[in-house]
Amino acid sequence: MEKISVKNNKLMIEIPLKSKRYCPYSDKVTGDMDNICGLITKEDCGFSYLIDRSYKGKCDDVSIPFYNYVGGEKEFRKLCERLGIIVVEYA
């Protein structure tokens, strides 16, 4: 669950880096997963949510970016590495 607040005149949004995998067919938690990824496309870099699709036997989906990074790809990759966030690339 995200926490949203204002601190020192800045909007603070806390988003969990991990979430639980859940199977709606068995109504069970099936493990942990990354909740956030760095997304690199031909035009932009930013942060997106990962969407669990393992219960369908598929790879996780990536949401549209919820935050667009204002900088270059190289710097964004370094930031993701420093934060321990995986990077997903779309051509």
Q: With respect to residue 1, please indicate whether it lies within any of the assigned structural domains.
A: no
Cα atoms in the 13 Å half-sphere on the side-chain side of 13: 4
For the entire predicted model, the pTM comes to 0.86
Distances (CA, A) of 63 to 6, 34, 36: 25, 13, 10
pLDDT of 37 reads 98
Number of structural domains (the chain) is 1
Chain segment 11-57, per-residue pLDDT in tens: 999 999 999 999 888 889 989 999 999 999 999 999 999 999 998 98
Q: With respect to residue 83, please indicate whether it lies within any of the assigned structural domains.
A: yes
Q: With respect to residue 6, please indicate whether it lies within any of the assigned structural domains.
A: no
- Domain around 28: 17-89
